[in-house]
Amino acid sequence: MCQNEVMSLYLDAVLGANYNFPYANFGRKDSDMYQTRKIGVIGQGHVGAHVANSLLMQGIADELYLCDINETKVTSEVQDLRDSLSFVPYNTKIVNCGDRYEELSCCDIVVNAAGKVALAATNRDGELFYTTDAARTFANRVVDAGFDGIFVSISNPCDVVCTELWHLTGYDPKKIIGSGCGLDSARLRTEISKQIGISPKSIDAYMIGEHGFSQIGAFKAATIAGKKLSELEAENPEKYAFDHMQIEELARKGGYVTYAGKQCTEYAVANSAARVCAAVLHNEHAVLSASTLMTGQYGEEGIFTSLPCVIGAEGVEEVYTLDLSERELEGFHKSCQHIRDNIAQLDWWDEAAWNAK
C-alpha cells in the first residue's frame, strides 16, 4: 500500500469518509492533477505594480494577468516581474493583457488598482472622477466576458468605486471586496502598539467607515487577549491609558505621512490587497476590515463601507457590527453620509432609481 493510500485511509478514519476540505475545489482546474490560481491586476501604476510584485513574492497566485491602458508601461512591468522569477520560490506565469480586459475572465480574482495618485495628494477624494471613469472602461467588459470570480478594489475613493462597480455590473455584492480600512486598521494597531508595548498582531482593533478622512477608530470594541482595552486601562492606567483621538488621527493620516516623502504609497497597500487575495484563494474565513455593501448594519444600506468582514472563497461571507460608543456611532453615520455625498457627484447617480434597488 502506497503512502498516499495510507494517508487517505487515515483521513477517512479521523475526519469521516465524506469530509470535504474547505478549499479543495477552489481555483480553475486546468488538469486532473492541478488547480491553477489566477489573479488579474488592472492598473500598473505605483500601487498596481506593487500588488503584482507582492502576489509574486508571496506565491499567492500561479498566474498573474496584468492590464493597463498604457501598453508600454504594462509591458515593462511584465518584463521586470519575469526577470525576478529566478529569485522567487515559485515559477509564476506572468501574462501581458495590455488593455484587453476580456482576457481577465479566466481569473479567480481581479484586483482593481486603476488610478492617478497625483490627484490624491491631499485627499483620496481627489481621484473621484478619474477612478470612477476608469471603472466604466473595464467593469462590464470583464463581467460580460464570463468573469465569475471576486473583485478586490483598492482604487480611491475606495468605497465609492466599489459601490459603482456594483451599480455598473449588477454583480453579486458579496463578490466585490474593497480594501477599505484594512490598512488603516493595521495603522491603528501599530499606533496603539507604540503606546502600550504590545505587538500589533496581538491587538484586535478596527478603523471603520470610509477609507478617508471620515473613518472612525472603534476603540470601545478594541481588545487584547479577549479583554477590552477600556478594562485594561482601568486596571493599569499607567500602561494602557492614552489619548484615543490622537491615535485615531495618526492612523487616519498615516498614508499622507508616507505620501509626503515619496509622493505615493505602495508597499503597505499592496500587501493589504495581497492579504485579501490570500484569504479568498485559501478560503480562510478570515476576519478583515474591508469595504462591503451595507444591508442594514447600524441602519445603513445601499453603499459600500468598511466593517470587519469574514472573507473566504465566495467573497464576503459575514459582516460584523461592533459595540460602538455614541461618538463612534455618530462618526460612522457621518462617514457613510460623506460616501453618499461623493456618489451624488457622479453622472450615473439617480436617487429615485437608487432607492428602488
Q: Which of 50, 211, 244, 338 is catalytic?
A: 211
Q: Is 45 annotated as a binding residue?
A: yes
Q: Is 155 annotated as a binding residue?
A: yes
Angstrom distances, CA of residue 19 to CA of 6, 24, 57, 95: 16, 11, 33, 36
Residue 244 bears catalytic tag: no
Grid coordinates given for 91:
515559477
Q: Is 47 annotated as a binding residue?
A: yes
Of 267, 265, 259, 264, nearest to 53 (Cα)? 267
Grid coordinates given for 262:
515619496
Helix intervals (H) in 263-322: 267-281
Tell me the angle at which helices 182-196 and 267-281 cross, rounded to the nearest 10 degrees.
110
Q: Is 44 annotated as a binding residue?
A: yes
Q: How far apart are CA 58 and CA 107, in angstroms?
A: 18
Q: How far apart are CA 141 and CA 194, in angstroms?
A: 46
Q: Is 156 annotated as a binding residue?
A: yes
Share in percent of the chain as helix, strand, coil (round to 5):
50, 20, 30
Q: How far apart are CA 214 and CA 39, in angstroms?
A: 31
Q: Is 244 annotated as a binding residue?
A: no
Q: Residues comprising the binding site for NAD(+)?
A: 43-48, 68, 154-156
| Residues marked as catalytic | 211
Q: Residues comprising the binding site?
A: 43-48, 68, 154-156
